């Protein structure tokens, strides 16, 4: 009788081990692979969001620049990156861009 109990415990223990180890191995493989489902295609920005998005600093509307995949604030001269279709609106992550020469205010001398 004690042999049966030990055998059941050992069998149950091993099956539990397989249950926990297998999903972990699958998860590790899917995270480490570069060709996963999430990496298959680049997500594009939904331009209809421009109706709702404003610059967090100036509260002014933003312009979408498709070539650089950024949201541009013309007034402040900054560009917010768009990563995987999601705009990164954190001011510290924004990039400074050069303003066109004609938009600068003339200095008083």
pLDDT digits (tens, 9 = 90+) for 32-71: 444 444 444 567 889 999 999 999 999 999 999 999 999 9
Q: Is residue 6 part of a domain?
A: yes
Q: Is residue 64 part of a domain?
A: yes
Give the gyration radius of the chain's Cα atoms: 27
CATH code, 87: 2.20.25.10
- Contact assessment for residue 50 and residue 42, using Cβ atoms and an 8 Å cutoff: no
Domain count, the chain: 2
Output the pLDDT for position 43: 77
More confident position, 90 or 101: 90
Ranking 5-14, 65-74, 80-89 by mean pLDDT, the lowest is 5-14
Do 27 and 56 lie in one domain? The reply is no
- Token pair in block for residue 47: 């331009």
Find the domain containing 71 and state its range. Answer: 47-100
Distance CA 18, CA 33 (A): 22
Does residue 23 have a pLDDT over 50? no
Average pLDDT over residues 88-100: 89
């Amino acid at each position: 009788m004690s042999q049966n109990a030990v055998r059941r415990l050992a069998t149950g223990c091993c099956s539990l081990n397989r249950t926990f180890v297998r999903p972990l191995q699958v998860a590790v493989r899917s995270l480490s692979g570069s060709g996963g489902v999430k990496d298959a295609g680049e997500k594009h920005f939904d331009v209809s969001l421009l109706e709702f998005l404003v610059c967090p600093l100036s509260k002014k509307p933003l312009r979408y620049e498709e070539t650089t995949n950024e949201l541009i604030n013309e007034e402040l001269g900054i560009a917010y990156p768009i990563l995987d279709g999601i705009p990164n609106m954190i001011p510290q992550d924004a990039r400074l861009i050069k303003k066109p020469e004609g938009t600068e205010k003339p200095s008083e001398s």
